[in-house]
């Protein structure tokens, strides 16, 4: 379910705005606090929840791990490189679990602007950025035309 922001915790830093792949976290121009402008378009990726340094963003969890009325809080601890989730059920029970969020040191992953511009040939290629080397293969597998189903050639 979509996210929402506790206005009193938010300091308007904008990290959630930058990271939201759906571009629906915006800063209210009057209050200078973030809010989800289009909850129906939320991917529920929780990137904003994990990125918020103020723990200001909350969400309802998926029914499979929090089925009956609950709140979901997240604790982001950069120094430990962990994200901890706390689910609080209506009857007062709590479930706490930690998710490892990366296998490389914090801050060690290069951003897109740290790489050279793709060549025009690369722009026409069907391979995605950094393929095939990041897949640790010499070339992507291809399907021989002889294996196509009749009528699809
Ligand atoms: Fe507010 Fe958190 Fe978004 Fe920063 S990342 S603007 S503190 S909700
Ligand atoms: Fe955007 Fe994902 Fe946060 Fe939804 S959960 S508001 S899609 S960053």
Indicate the number of domains in the chain. Answer: 2
Q: What are the tens digits of pLDDT across the range 33-57?
A: 999 999 889 888 888 988 899 989 9
Q: Note whether 22 and 67 are same-domain residues.
A: yes
Mutational test site, ligand 1, from 23, 57, 75, 76, max ligand atoms within 8 Å of CB: 57
Are 15 and 85 in a shared domain?
yes
Which tokens go with 68? 């009956």
Q: Are residues 26 and 78 in the same domain?
A: yes
**Is the pLDDT at 25 greater than 90, yes or no?**
yes
Question: Is 28 a member of any domain?
Answer: yes
Q: Mapping DSSP to helix (H, G, I), strand (E, B) and coil, where does residue 95 land?
A: strand
Q: Are residues 34 and 61 in the same domain?
A: yes
By DSSP bridging, strand 82-89 and strand 34-36 are: unpaired
User: What pTM value is reported for the model?
Assistant: 0.63
Asked if 71 and 139 sit in the same domain, the reply is: no
Alpha carbon distance 55, 13 (integer Å): 12
**Containing domain of residue 128, as a range?**
118-147
Statement to judge: residues 82 and 125 lie in one domain: no
Length of the chain: 153
Comparing 99 with 106, the larger pLDDT belongs to 99
The response to whether residue 34 sits with its C-beta less than 6 Å from ligand 2 reads: no
């Amino acid at each position: 379910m979509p996210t929402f922001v506790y206005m009193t915790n938010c300091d308007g830093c904008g990290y959630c705005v930058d990271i939201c792949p759906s571009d629906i976290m915006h800063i209210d121009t009057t209050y200078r606090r973030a809010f989800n402008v289009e909850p129906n378009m939320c991917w529920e990726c929780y990137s904003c929840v994990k990125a918020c340094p103020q723990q200001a963003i909350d969400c309802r969890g998926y029914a499979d791990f929090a089925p009956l009325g609950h709140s979901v809080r997240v604790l982001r601890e950069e120094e430990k490189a962990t994200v901890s989730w706390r689910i609080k059920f209506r009857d007062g029970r709590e479930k706490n679990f930690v998710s490892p969020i990366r296998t490389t040191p914090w801050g060690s992953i290069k951003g897109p602007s740290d790489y050279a511009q793709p060549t025009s040939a690369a722009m026409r290629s069907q391979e995605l950025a950094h393929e095939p080397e990041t897949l640790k293969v010499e070339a992507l597998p291809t399907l021989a035309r002889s294996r196509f189903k009749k009528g699809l050639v």
